[in-house]
Amino acid sequence: MGSKNEGSGYWYGPDGQLDYSALVLKSLRDYRTAETAVRRSTRDSMGMGETDILALRYVLRVQASGGAVVPKDLSLFLGITSASTTSLIDRLVASGHVRRESHPTDRRSVVVVPTVESDREVRETLGAMHRRMMSVAEGLSVEEARVVVEFLARMTRAIEAESGDTEAK
């Protein structure tokens, strides 16, 4: 309440000029809506929940960079308990998306490895969208990219500050 747009109509300021701040926030909401719809569609087509798809994408990303994922890595990344991580890995193994393998240097541990099929499935499901998004990002000038990155970083800090304020109350 009490915003500069109060009583002035959503898209126009009190002086009748287009309110670009409102348009920017609307654009962010439109992007989030589109991204959420694609994520839901991806989860549905792969028969997975949100946490499962986040875990699989993490495992694929780490493997692509030459690393290995142990269950504790997934627990920390997802912010879940070790018991929940075990259940998650069990689901991903049962669905054929990952497998457990012996850790190469620690006999007491296992690594979580994505299957070739899951890598292919994620690439087919998300690859075209990622290529389109990368094309848009690559079309930005250096200055445009700098402005977008700084804007999004400031928005992230604004959201996190609100989150912190709420928890402190």
Q: pLDDT at residue 13 above 70? A: no
Q: d(Cα 53, Cα 95) in Å, to the nearest integer?
A: 12
Between 71 and 41, the more confident residue is 71
What is the reported pLDDT for 108?
87
Question: Within its chain, how far is the Cα of 126 from the centroid?
Answer: 12
Mean pLDDT of the chain: 85
Residues 58-79 have a mean pLDDT of: 94
Stated as kind and residue range, the H or E segment containing 67 is none
Q: CATH assignment of 47-116?
A: 1.10.10.10
What is the reported pLDDT for 143?
97
Between 132 and 163, the more confident residue is 132
Q: d(Cα 23, Cα 12) in Å, to the nearest integer?
A: 10
Q: pLDDT at residue 83 above 80? A: yes
Q: pLDDT at residue 4 above 50? A: no
Q: pLDDT at residue 40 above 90? A: no
Q: pLDDT at residue 10 above 50? A: yes
Q: pLDDT at residue 1 above 80? A: no
pTM for the whole structure:
0.64
